[in-house]
Amino acid sequence: KCLQRADTTSTISCVLSSEKNLSCWMVSSLLSDEKNGQKSLHTLQVERQEQAERSVLISCQSSTNEKKFLKYLSKHGEISKYFFYESYGVYAVVEFAKQESVSSLLEGAAIPGGSHESAVPFKSRLLSLRNFSPVDSQNQPSGLQCQPQTTIPISELIKRLSREKSIDKQITSLAEAYQLTEENSRLRFLVCSLLKDIAAAYFPECTIKPFGSSVNGFGKLGCDLDMFLDVDSISGRNVKLSGLSLEYQMKRANSERAVTQSILSVIGECVDQFGPGCVGVQKILNARCPLVRFAHQPSGFQCDLTANNRVAMKSTELLYLYGGLDPRVRNLVFTVRCWARAHGVTSSIPGAWITNFSLTVMVLFFLQKRSPPIIPTLDHLRDLAGPADKSVIEGNDCTFVSNFNKIRLESNTETLEKLLSEFFEFYATFPFSRMSINIRKGKEQNKPEVAPLHIQNPFETSLNVSKNVNASQLDRFVSLCQESSWLLQQSETGTPRGGGGDGGPTPWGLATLLLPSQVAGIKSRKKRRREPASERIKGLLESLKNKNQLKKS
């Protein structure tokens, strides 16, 4: 009886009772958004952050008895949601209905003893369940239902897609299989909230918000967790002073960048020294955007913590808005991102590869270029903005409308199949050598500088989002687009083929586009001739391994 899901009413009352973030505007926007079915990113963030604050993360034994566990925790108050997942052991995310329950739970928790190691007595909402019951009641099969936090392997995805009856179905099925789940999204906000507790030791009013693919609607299970430490929300800025008043004495630095670096340096050190579950902490403070990178073991997330990165937060909001305008946007982005990863066009290692962010902007641009356009230009979204949407960050105009209802779409009814094939055709023949991709105007522009691939940053318009991409990576992308466009036009690969026997259904349609490529193969063979023998052998083994994996599937 205590396991009710938080419903809309309770969410609103929780926002109402959260004194820190309360503003009339927020509540009215929450109500009006929900009425129209599409929440703004801001509303979603507030709601999820608030849920995360009432949640704890508990490492359990795999033999944990679910009923007993919940009964034990319910002594501290009503549980509104819980789930289990696996990451180096079994964990439970438990969300209480009230904040007091968390305090009560923490009061009863003990600091670990142990003769060999000493504990840093930093208390957090990451806990371990200990079972001191007699041995005979332990080691029972637990039957805990764990929620998946990673995607299915590509070989399994290919099989699943091959069973679908149309390419449209294949595309929606891919997006369904890859998108973040409700549970994974909650876990992401919880990890941010745990990190906030560390940063709050110095900055009690700060918040840590996820941005990038964790919240922009295009995140795939297993994607990194980009976090933004927001110290701008600390009250007392721009207060109108009159008569006598006091202001804080504060240490000053030469620039905002220097302030960001010193904050991240200290918080990074705390995360490293005191942060439970945080390992492999690297402070990368001299990057264009300074960051602290680490792995959060209990969640399995690779985390990038940044501060003073408000433009990235805005581009996240923009992607979220575009993704919510028409379901074809998300479906197509998921498909193109998956296709690009399958062929090594994108990579998890930084380098001269096209990034997922660049790729997403390329899909948006393509959709703006349809006739009639499927999504509006950024300039149009700026024109629709109301006074509350106005935003200028470091001299960059980041204003655009946030209310979905103000945006009127044109009636384009193209199918996903048509769009996917046209996407490949579009970029197979795009004049990359002369033109820049520009979603602000929805039109290609002459390149302002030499770079193989030029994608104008939507807000910092003098920057190129894909500055890192080299000519050979762009060539590979173009060749793969040509190949995929060709494959989709073949009746052999473009229609369901059934059969397959033990090896599963024969790949067709989108599934064939995810199989190892012929052109990439030819290219890499050509390249391999110039590589040392050890590299060639390594590559050969790799391709054999891939082929075997596909056969097994």
Amino acid at 306: T
Which among 7-15, 218-226, 279-287, 436-444 is the span making contact with Mg ion, rule CB under 5 A? 218-226
212 touching Mg ion, by CB under 5 A: yes
To the nearest whole angstrom, how small is the minimum distance from the Cβ of residue 293 to ligand CTP? Answer: 11
Site for ligand CTP, residues 283 to 312, rule: CB under 6 A:
311-312
Q: Which is nearer to ligand CTP, 218 or 366 (CB)?
A: 218
3-state secondary structure of 187: helix
Instruction: Give the nearest distance from C-beta 225 to Mg ion in angstroms.
Output: 7
Q: Give the range of 5-13, 162-170, 206-214, 414-422 binding ligand CTP by CB under 6 A.
A: 206-214
Instruction: Let me know if 351 is exposed, middle or buried by CB neighbors in 10 A (0-12, 13-18, 19+).
Output: exposed
Between CA 69 and CA 63 the distance in angstroms is 11
Yes or no: say if 261 and 285 are a contact pair by the CB < 8 Å rule.
Answer: yes
Closest contact distance (angstroms) between CB of 319 and ligand CTP is 6
Residue matched to tokens 């006598």: 244
Q: Is 452 in the site for Mg ion (CB under 5 A)?
A: no
Contact call for residue 357 and ligand CTP (CB under 6 A): yes
Question: Residue 98 or residue 293: which is nearer to ligand CTP going by CB?
Answer: 293
**Nearest distance in Å: CB 461, Mg ion:** 22
Residue with smaller CB distance to ligand CTP, 86 or 224:
224
Instruction: Lay out the site mask for ligand CTP across 337-356 (x = CB under 6 A, - = otherwise).
Output: ------------------xx
Shortest Å, Cβ 191 to ligand CTP? 15
CB of 209 to Mg ion, least distance (A): 13
User: Is position 213 an interface residue for Mg ion (rule: CB under 5 A)?
Assistant: yes
The separation between CA 196 and the C-alpha centre of its own chain, rounded to angstroms, equals: 18
Reduced to 3 states (helix: H, G, I; strand: E, B; else coil), residue 444 is: coil
226 or 444: CB nearest Mg ion: 226
Q: Which stretch binds ligand CTP (CB under 6 A): 91-99, 102-110, 164-172, 212-220?
A: 212-220
Name the residue nearer to ligand CTP (CB basis): 273 or 461.
461
Report the residue number whose CB is nearest to ligand CTP.
212
Residue 465 binding: pick among Mg ion, ligand CTP, none (C-beta 5-8 Å cut-off by kind): ligand CTP
Interface segment toward ligand CTP; rule CB under 6 A; list 201-209, 215-223, 437-445, 513-521 = 215-223
Q: Tell me how many helices (H) and strands (E) the chain has.
A: 19, 13
What whole-number distance in Å separates Cα of residue 291 and Cα of residue 96? Answer: 32
Residue with tokens 């770079």: 451
- Do 466 and 355 form a contact (C-beta atoms < 8 A)? yes
CA 514 to CA 507: how far, in whole Å?
Answer: 9
Coil, strand or helix: which one is 207?
strand
403 binds, among Mg ion, ligand CTP, none (CB under 5 to 8 A by kind): none
Give the shortest CB-215-to-Mg ion separation in angstroms. 10
Task: State the binding partner of 355 from Mg ion, ligand CTP, none, CB within 5 to 8 A by kind.
Answer: ligand CTP
Which residue from 207, 213, 260, 402 is in contact with ligand CTP, where contact means CB under 6 A?
A: 213
Q: Rounded to whole angstroms, how far apart are CA atoms 294 and 304?
A: 7
Segment interacting with ligand CTP (CB under 6 A) among 95-103, 184-192, 210-218, 444-452: 210-218
SS3 state of residue 445? strand
Joined together, the tokens standing for residue 403 give: 């209310």
- Pair 441, 379: CB distance under 8 Å: yes
Task: Compute the least distance from the CB of residue 50 to ligand CTP, in Å.
Answer: 23
CA 64/CA 133 separation, integer angstroms: 11
Beta-ladder partners of 84: 92, 146
Subset of 224-243 contacting ligand CTP (CB under 6 A): 224, 226
**Smallest distance, Å, CB 305 to Mg ion?**
12
DSSP for 354-408, please give it. PPHHHHHHHHHHHHHTSSS-SS--HHHHHHT--GGG--EETTEE------GGGPP
Q: How far apart are CA 279 and CA 271, in angstroms?
A: 9
- In the chain, % helix, strand, coil (3-state, to 5) comes to 45, 15, 40
Single out the residue of 33, 95, 168, 226 in contact with Mg ion (rule: CB under 5 A). 226
Q: Which does 312 bind (CB under 5 to 8 A by kind): Mg ion, ligand CTP, none?
A: ligand CTP
The total number of residues written for the chain in this structure: 553
The whole-angstrom separation of Cα 278 and Cα 117 is 18
User: Out of 158, 175, 223, 378, which residue is the one contacting ligand CTP (CB under 6 A)?
Assistant: 223
Find the binder of Mg ion among 34, 224, 272, 460 (CB under 5 A): 224
- Alpha helices (runs of H) in 75-166, residue ranges in sequence order: 99-108, 154-162
Instruction: Report the interface residues with Mg ion, using CB under 5 A.
Output: 212-213, 224, 226
Instruction: Report the interface residues with ligand CTP, using CB under 6 A.
Output: 211-213, 216, 219, 223-224, 226, 311-312, 315-316, 355-357, 465
